Amino acid sequence: MSDKCSRCDGCGEIATDDEGSPWSMWEALPPQAKLAVTLGMVKPIACPVCGGTGKAAEAAKETT
């Protein structure tokens, strides 16, 4: 089992797009492909599943 959160793919943030994509997917895009980010239409928010830690819920429980 992976220690990273499956919702945010371990980066701790998701995008405000319709799918709630991992923010790392948006960061990996070349500048010309992320116009929505440049215009402020898509922003990063803390992942609601891991609370921004990037860790899977099971792994987070073990560290608390």
The verdict on pTM exceeding 0.85 is: no
Residue 44 lies in a domain: yes
Residue 18's pLDDT is 96
* Whole-angstrom distance, CA of residue 4 vs CA of residue 34: 25
DSSP class of residue 15? Answer: E
Cα(60)–Cα(39) distance, integer angstroms = 34
Domain total in the chain:
1
pLDDT of residue 13: 98
Higher pLDDT among residues 60 and 48, named by residue: 48
Stretch 32-51: mean pLDDT? 95
Q: Is 40 among the domain residues?
A: yes
Q: Is residue 5 part of a domain?
A: no
Average pLDDT, rounded, for the chain: 90
H-helix or E-strand spanning residue 54: none
